[in-house]
Amino acid sequence: MNPRGRIISVEGIDAVGKSTQSLLLETWFRDQGRRVTSLSFPDYDTPIGKEIKAFLGGGRDFGPEVRHMLFAANRWEKASLIRRSRLENEAIIVNRYTESNLVYGLANGLRLGWLAGLERGIPRSDLVVVLDAPSRGVASRRPGPKDSYEKDLELQARVQTLYRELAPKFGWVVIDGSKSVGRVHDSVVQTVKDNLDLGAKS
């Protein structure tokens, strides 16, 4: 029997390297012969995800409460799939999860308790890895059009500070994301080994 799979969220400001590191971690798990699956939020393909895409692209003008309720609702759309994945896989890597909404919601002036309430009942992360790098340094890393949150450099700076402030309170592990891709990956793997008891390979 497969014990409950472990949920690992990869967090941090925009363009800090979450997608790259999530992919590398997935490959690492596979190379270990372990069953792993990957998810990413926002999931822009769902009905709620399309609304999120619309407001991030400037096509809808919602206030912060509605925006952050939609981010949470987007996870609720996937909650049963996440529960199923936990039974089928040893690890579930999530590129942005509930923690993003706490941090970005707070940075947008919402209350932590209210934001946490929106996420209550969604499977919780077993390990949260925060990739940390100065927001100004990473803003130029990703070419192409930026969404409304990415364009807002003050928001990005607030978000970076909030990740650092909330990490000790919630037990999130902060990793220096300004190093080379390979060195960051090594730190992520070490963090997984140090913090998760994955048990014997099944």
- Site residues for ligand TMP per CB under 6 A: 14, 41-42, 56, 71, 96, 100-101, 104, 147, 149-150
Strand positions, DSSP E, 44-184: 91-95, 127-132, 173-176
Looking up tokens 């509930």, which residue turns up?
A: 98
CB of 48 vs ligand TMP, minimal distance in Å: 11
φ, ψ of residue 11 in degrees (nearest 5): -125, 170
Alpha-carbon gap, residue 186 to 120, rounded angstroms: 32
Looking up tokens 């996937």, which residue turns up?
A: 78
By beta-carbon proximity to ligand TMP, the closer residue of 28 and 149 is: 149
CB of 121 vs ligand TMP, minimal distance in Å: 15
CB of 131 vs ligand TMP, minimal distance in Å: 12
CB of 31 vs ligand TMP, minimal distance in Å: 26
By beta-carbon proximity to ligand TMP, the closer residue of 29 and 41 is: 41
Contacts 24+ apart (CB under 8 A), 23-27: 24/181, 24/185, 24/188, 25/93, 25/185, 25/188, 25/189, 25/192, 26/93
Handedness of CA 80, 82, 84, 87 (dihedral sign): negative
By beta-carbon proximity to ligand TMP, the closer residue of 81 and 87 is: 81
CB of 202 vs ligand TMP, minimal distance in Å: 30
Looking at residue 178, its amino acid is S
CB of 103 vs ligand TMP, minimal distance in Å: 8
Alpha-carbon gap, residue 192 to 51, rounded angstroms: 34
By beta-carbon proximity to ligand TMP, the closer residue of 150 and 186 is: 150
- Residue whose Cβ sits closest to ligand TMP: 104
Instruction: State the distance between the two ends of the chain, measured CA to CA, in whole angstroms.
Output: 8
By beta-carbon proximity to ligand TMP, the closer residue of 29 and 163 is: 163
By beta-carbon proximity to ligand TMP, the closer residue of 29 and 104 is: 104
